[in-house]
């Protein structure tokens, strides 16, 4: 079984399993397989394509046949062994009926919610309407009754003709119900596309994740600004995000709107013909047949009274011939072939119905009753008179001449059409069309039989005599077919545009914001830390809408007219002067999500995610979820002399801490770290290590170390923090005061989770390794350095970065010896950075404005670009030691000779040869003293050895307790 079928089977079986077990008489296994089979069939492309083609045929096939082919094309065939003689078109209708019936069965079993639903009943009704397209059914129901043989049937033929005309219109409207199948198939097509898109799950670019690994090779380095045309390129890339998945609310509202629109249109189509009165108006053909019939009865009565050759009989005979010729000229079929040249007269050729066949029925046996045809002499005389009258200037109508063939047929005895079902058996008549002998050669809807009204229902005195005039309605049927197709297309257009415009306002004002909120909540649920980028996405969406509105206002011509017609001319992106409630709610969700991400941090992401994932089942909050073990790098940084700064700055100390925190957090985030705790004067930073990739783990350790190196440089170059060097209170309290920080780093395992109770929790880490980072930071003061790194962290780094780290001691940590390392930095050598940049001027499609949101957006975009760049395979963190100006400046006094001498001294110190080590550390101190700098590690080790008179104790194992 193909993968798609297997997936459908797995998804359908559970939904029907409970029902299948309850069914009796059919094994549940077979029933489940039947359900899976039906679901697979209805989802197949070939099945949808087949039903779509047959639906189009059911809509247009009969009209195309009527408009393009004559009745000769309706050849009879035998279909599927049925003992029904069907013409070729009827065979296709039966095939459509069978396929649609199978489709209803398959969807009833394979599509949950279909059976008994709105589209189920419409499908049944539209499929049943195909029966009315079968010729023998339609002729029996809506025929003209011209084939009735009984006297009562003939009397009702006129009424049947009128009722059939109106009923035929209703049938054409019933056929329009098949349009609903097009709507349903369109929705099925959209659903299939959505399923396919979910299956493929294409990755889409989002703010905050703008670059892939393979796109970051050519990005600017850390401190380099992005190109000046960054936002120009951004302008080009701005596109509305219309690919958001449709929510269940939107889908339900769309379905309800479509259903109500369908019902409204069908109701209008059904009710409009009811209020039509045109069918009540008598037609000229009806008046004509009554006139001919009355004049013929007068002739017969005179013939029976005075004889066939009496002058009175001949007079009545001439009057009958005159009436018949008048009718022939007034409905001359041959006028269709002759264009009307007179501009002021009415033309018979403009009519859509003409006389095709003149018939006569009588049960009388006397020669007076069986002589409806005309004599040659009389016919020719009247013909000349009418040719001159109807084609001259006397009448306001032009009918054209009667052909010799027509006159010849009228004057010869009329013949019977045998068993022609279109006329009563025993009737005789004459066709006025050369290629049609009998009315049965025309389709039932291409002819109209007209019978006299001025007669009794039963008339034995007149031997049930009557005339039958059959009108050729092929031109009318042609235009009806063409207009039916146009009507079908028009209703398709109305359904499509109506459904679109009816739901547009709801989509724009309500559903669109709701679906965007759902997408944002889904992002928070899947990745709570992504909430910090929601504001950037909202800014991008607002700028896109603002740019679209500006472009719309600048349109001219037809584009501007279309905007006015569709009520978009005055529509603004912000919904007017007063913000809509949905907009306020959407922005509130963005703020709440961002605050959650900021408050809980990376350690609390699982808390947020677990509670968001359970929102569909319960509104309760379970913050005390079990912790989980993670491996990470822990960094602890402390603001030196914070107590003194607090006493001096007082209420401004919060601003002081936040200014430092902005630098620390920003750089740490750029190097893929996550701030965890802000403890007054200290910050706990965490770099969570990947579980399965040793290369990425080493690179993450490199980035953790380099981030603190960058923090040291940033806080000493910051123009904002430089102001505290000139603060009178701080300078009076602490001479030569400047913002200084100490850093301690260690890596290992920790338990990540919520700490606290239902009243207050903190998302943090519990582990001895976290405490080690704090102990190392505290020890930086004893060693006279700004940074201490554990040996475990150094062992986890790449060898390129290890060579820049100096081992300065070996201490006992939790009962085991571990090396202590530092990165030598002299931050006093750094110069002050340039002042903060000017406010950002954002250029978006002609609109110049200064915006804090735009500034934050650009800053985040630049930071995200640099973050992505650091994961590039060719990006080496250790290269910053050799290429970054600030790092080079802070390390320039530390020469290779210095490191070599210190390494020699440390090896002797570690081996217990303290006298030699002491002398070597004196040398290293002098090397840096010449540069005006005191080497803290050399001094610290000398102090420790002085406590033991420079002799290693007998228990010396190369390590000591952490000072």
pLDDT of residue 445: 77
pLDDT at 756 over 50: yes
pLDDT at 573 over 50: no
Distance CA 565, CA 563 (A): 6
What does the pLDDT average to over 821-827? 94
What does the pLDDT average to over 102-115? 83
pLDDT at 50 over 60: yes
Nearest to 633 by CA among 531, 701, 580: 701
Q: Which residues contact 706 (CB under 8 A, 6 or more apart)?
A: 671, 801, 877, 880
Which of 313-327, 576-590, 699-713, 797-811 has the lowest average pLDDT?
Answer: 576-590
Distance CA 119, CA 108 (A): 11
**How many CB atoms are closer than 10 A to CB 294?**
16
The predicted-structure confidence for 505-528, as pLDDT tens digits, reads as follows: 777 777 778 877 887 777 777 776
Q: Could you say which DSSP state residue 955 is in?
A: T
Q: Which residues contact 71 (CB under 8 A, 6 or more apart)?
A: 441, 442, 443, 446
pLDDT at 471 over 80: yes
pLDDT band for position 476 (cuts 50, 70, 90): confident
What does the pLDDT average to over 870-898? 92
pLDDT band for position 392 (cuts 50, 70, 90): low
Put residue 307 in one of left, alpha, beta given phi > 0 → left and psi -120 to 50 → alpha.
left
CA 57 to chain centre: 29
pLDDT of residue 777: 95
8 A C-beta contact, residue 739 and residue 724: yes
**How many CB atoms are closer than 10 A to CB 689?**
21
Which of 5-14, 670-679, 724-733 has the lowest average pLDDT?
Answer: 5-14
Nearest to 95 by CA among 132, 47, 58, 145: 58
**What is the distance between the terminal CA atoms of the chain, rounded to a whole angstrom?**
70
pLDDT at 223 over 80: no
What does the pLDDT average to over 640-659? 93
pLDDT of residue 888: 93
- The three-state secondary structure class of 12 is helix
pLDDT band for position 613 (cuts 50, 70, 90): low
Determine the angle formed by the axes of helices 3-22 and 28-42, rounding to 10 degrees: 140
| CATH code, 629-829 | 3.30.70.1230
The predicted-structure confidence for 172-196, as pLDDT tens digits, reads as follows: 566 666 666 666 665 666 566 555 6
pLDDT at 578 over 80: no
With pLDDT > 90 as the criterion, what percentage of the chain qualifies? 24
Name residue 206's beta-bridge partners: 209
Indicate the pairing of strand 806-813 with strand 960-961.
parallel
With pLDDT > 70 as the criterion, what percentage of the chain qualifies? 68
pLDDT of residue 252: 77
- Comparing 310 with 558, the larger pLDDT belongs to 310
Name residue 357's beta-bridge partners: 431, 470
Q: Could you say which DSSP state residue 18 is in?
A: H
- Comparing 139 with 865, the larger pLDDT belongs to 865
Nearest to 738 by CA among 753, 747, 727, 749: 727
The rounded mean pLDDT for the chain is 76
Which of 209-223, 862-876, 927-941 has the lowest average pLDDT?
Answer: 209-223
Q: What are the strands, taking DSSP E only, across 403-480?
A: 415-416, 428-431, 447-450, 466-472
Outline where 238-357 has alpha helix (H).
Answer: 248-271, 284-306, 311-330
pLDDT of residue 276: 65
The owner of tokens 């069914």 is: 23
Distance CA 757, CA 621 (A): 12
pLDDT of residue 574: 47
- Comparing 857 with 297, the larger pLDDT belongs to 297
Q: Could you say which DSSP state residue 209 is in?
A: B
What does the pLDDT average to over 758-766? 78
pLDDT band for position 74 (cuts 50, 70, 90): low
pLDDT of residue 190: 57
Tell me where in the chain the CATH 3.30.70.1230 domain(s) lie.
Answer: 629-829
- Comparing 309 with 214, the larger pLDDT belongs to 309
Distance CA 263, CA 118 (A): 10
What does the pLDDT average to over 217-237? 40
The predicted-structure confidence for 652-661, as pLDDT tens digits, reads as follows: 999 999 999 9
Q: Which residues contact 189 (CB under 8 A, 6 or more apart)?
A: 48
Q: Could you say which DSSP state residue 206 is in?
A: B
CA 390 to chain centre: 66
pLDDT of residue 75: 53
Which of 32-36, 820-824, 869-873 ranks highest by mean pLDDT? 820-824
pLDDT at 16 over 80: no
- Comparing 58 with 827, the larger pLDDT belongs to 827
What does the pLDDT average to over 693-714? 93
pLDDT at 11 over 50: no
**How many CB atoms are closer than 10 A to CB 531?**
25
Which of 16-30, 260-274, 536-550, 940-954 has the lowest average pLDDT?
Answer: 16-30
Q: For residue 818, report the phi and psi dihedrals to the nearest 5 degrees.
A: -150, 140
pLDDT at 790 over 90: yes
pLDDT at 923 over 90: yes
CA 840 to chain centre: 35
pLDDT of residue 641: 93
37, HSE (Cβ side, Cα atoms, 13 Å): 8
What does the pLDDT average to over 489-512? 75
The predicted-structure confidence for 591-609, as pLDDT tens digits, reads as follows: 777 777 777 666 666 666 6
Name residue 677's beta-bridge partners: 684
pLDDT of residue 78: 40
- Supply the pTM of this predicted model: 0.57
How many degrees, rounded to 5, is the angle at CA 849 between CA 846 and CA 851?
135
pLDDT at 56 over 70: yes
Q: Which residues contact 198 (CB under 8 A, 6 or more apart)?
A: none
pLDDT band for position 170 (cuts 50, 70, 90): low
Structure tokens at 658: 């936040």
pLDDT at 466 over 90: no
Determine the angle formed by the axes of helices 248-271 and 474-506, rounding to 10 degrees: 150
pLDDT of residue 773: 95
pLDDT of residue 230: 40
- Comparing 325 with 254, the larger pLDDT belongs to 325
pLDDT at 746 over 80: yes
pLDDT of residue 171: 58
């Amino acid at each position: 079984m193909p993968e798609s079928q297997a997936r459908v089977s797995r998804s359908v079986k559970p939904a029907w399993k409970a029902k299948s077990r309850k069914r009796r008489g059919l094994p549940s296994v077979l029933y489940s397989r039947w359900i899976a089979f039906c679901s697979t069939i209805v989802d197949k492309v070939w099945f949808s394509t087949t039903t779509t083609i047959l639906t189009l045929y059911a809509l247009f096939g009969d009209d195309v046949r009527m408009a393009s082919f004559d009745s000769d094309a309706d050849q009879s065939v035998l279909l599927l062994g049925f003992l029904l003689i069907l013409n070729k078109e009827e065979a296709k209708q039966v095939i459509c009926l069978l396929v649609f019936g199978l489709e209803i069965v398959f969807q009833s079993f394979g599509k949950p919610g279909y059976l008994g639903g709105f589209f189920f009943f419409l499908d049944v009704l539209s499929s049943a309407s195909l029966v009315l397209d079968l010729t023998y059914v339609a002729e029996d129901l809506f025929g003209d009754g011209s084939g009735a043989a009984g006297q009562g049937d003939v009397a009702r033929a006129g009424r049947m003709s009128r009722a059939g005309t109106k009923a035929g219109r209703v049938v054409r409207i019933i056929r329009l119900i098949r349009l609903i199948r097009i709507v349903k198939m369109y929705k099925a097509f959209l659903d299939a596309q959505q399923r396919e898109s979910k299956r493929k799950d294409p990755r889409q670019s989002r703010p905050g994740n703008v670059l892939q690994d393979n796109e970051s090779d050519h990005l600017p380095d850390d401190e380099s600004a992005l190109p000046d045309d960054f936002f120009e390129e951004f302008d080009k890339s701005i596109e509305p995000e219309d690919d958001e998945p449709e929510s269940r609310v939107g889908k339900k509202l769309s379905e309800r709107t479509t259903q109500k629109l369908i019902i409204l249109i069908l109701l209008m189509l059904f009710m409009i013909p009811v209020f039509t009165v045109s069918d009540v108006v008598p037609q000229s053909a009806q008046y004509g047949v009554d006139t001919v019939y009355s004049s013929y009865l007068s002739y017969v009565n005179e013939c029976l009274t005075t004889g066939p050759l009496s002058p009175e009989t001949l007079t009545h005979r001439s009057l009958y011939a005159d009436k018949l010729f008048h009718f022939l000229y007034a409905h001359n079929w041959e006028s269709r072939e002759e264009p009307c040249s007179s501009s002021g007269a009415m033309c018979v050729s403009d009519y859509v119905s003409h006389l095709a066949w003149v018939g006569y029925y009588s049960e009388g046996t006397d020669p007076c009753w069986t002589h409806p045809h005309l004599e040659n002499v009389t016919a020719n005389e009247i013909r000349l008179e009418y040719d001159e009258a109807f084609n001259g200037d006397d009448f306001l109508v032009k009918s054209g001449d009667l052909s010799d063939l027509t006159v010849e047929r009228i004057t010869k005895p009329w013949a019977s059409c045998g068993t022609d079902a279109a006329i009563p058996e025993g009737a005789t008549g004459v066709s006025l069309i050369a290629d049609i002998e009998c009315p049965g050669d025309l389709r039932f809807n291409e002819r109209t039989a007209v019978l006299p009204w001025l007669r009794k229902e039963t008339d034995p005195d007149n031997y049930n005599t009557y005339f039958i005039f059959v009108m050729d309605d092929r031109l009318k049927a042609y235009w009806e077919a063409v207009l039916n197709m146009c009507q079908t297309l028009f209703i398709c257009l109305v359904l499509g545009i109506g459904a679109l415009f009816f739901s547009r306002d709801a989509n724009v004002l309500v559903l669109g914001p709701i679906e965007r909120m759902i997408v944002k909540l889904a992002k928070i649920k899947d990745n709570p830390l992504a909430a910090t980028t929601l504001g950037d996405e909202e800014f991008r969406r607002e700028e896109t809408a603002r740019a679209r509105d500006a472009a719309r206002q600048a349109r001219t011509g037809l584009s501007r007219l279309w905007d006015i017609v569709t009520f978009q001319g005055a529509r603004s992106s912000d919904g007017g002067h007063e913000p809509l409630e949905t907009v306020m709610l959407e922005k509130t969700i963005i703020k709440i999500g961002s605050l959650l991400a900021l408050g809980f941090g990376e350690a609390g992401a699982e808390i947020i995610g677990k509670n968001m994932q359970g929102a569909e089942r319960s509104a309760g909050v379970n913050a005390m979820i079990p912790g989980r073990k993670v491996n990470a790098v822990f960094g602890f940084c402390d603001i030196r002399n914070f107590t003194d700064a607090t006493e001096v700055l007082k209420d401004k100390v919060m601003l002081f801490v936040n200014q430092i925190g902005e630098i620390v957090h920003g750089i740490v985030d750029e190097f893929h770290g996550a701030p965890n705790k802000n403890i007054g004067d200290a910050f706990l930073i965490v770099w969570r290590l990947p579980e399965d990739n040793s290369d990425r783990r080493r690179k993450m350790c490199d980035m953790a170390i380099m981030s603190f190196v960058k923090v040291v440089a940033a806080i000493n170059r910051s123009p904002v923090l430089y102001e505290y060097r000139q603060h009178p209170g701080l300078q009076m309290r602490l001479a030569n005061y400047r913002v200084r920080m100490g850093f301690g780093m260690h890596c290992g395992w920790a338990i990540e989770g919520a700490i606290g109770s239902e009243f207050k929790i903190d998302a943090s880490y519990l582990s001895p390794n976290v405490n080690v980072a704090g102990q190392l930071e505290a020890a930086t003061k004893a060693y006279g350095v700004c940074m201490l790194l554990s040996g475990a962290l150094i062992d986890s780094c790449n060898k390129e970065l290890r060579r820049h780290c100096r081992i300065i001691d070996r201490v006992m940590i939790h009962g085991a010896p571990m090396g202590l390392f530092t990165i030598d930095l002299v931050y006093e050598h750094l110069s002050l950075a340039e002042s903060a940049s000017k406010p950002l001027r954002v250029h978006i499609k002609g609109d110049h404005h200064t915006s804090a949101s735009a500034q934050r957006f650009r800053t985040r975009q630049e930071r995200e670009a640099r973050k992505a760049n650091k994961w590039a395979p060719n990006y080496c963190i250790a290269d910053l030691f050799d290429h970054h100006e600030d790092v080079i400046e802070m390390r320039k006094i530390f020469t290779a000779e210095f490191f070599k001498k210190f390494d020699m001294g440390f090896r002797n110190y570690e081996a217990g040869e303290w006298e030699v080590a002491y002398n070597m550390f004196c040398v290293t101190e002098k090397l840096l003293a010449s540069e005006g700098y005191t080497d803290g590690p050399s001094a610290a080790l000398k102090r420790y050895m002085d406590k033991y008179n420079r002799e290693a104790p007998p228990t010396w194992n190369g390590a000591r307790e952490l000072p």
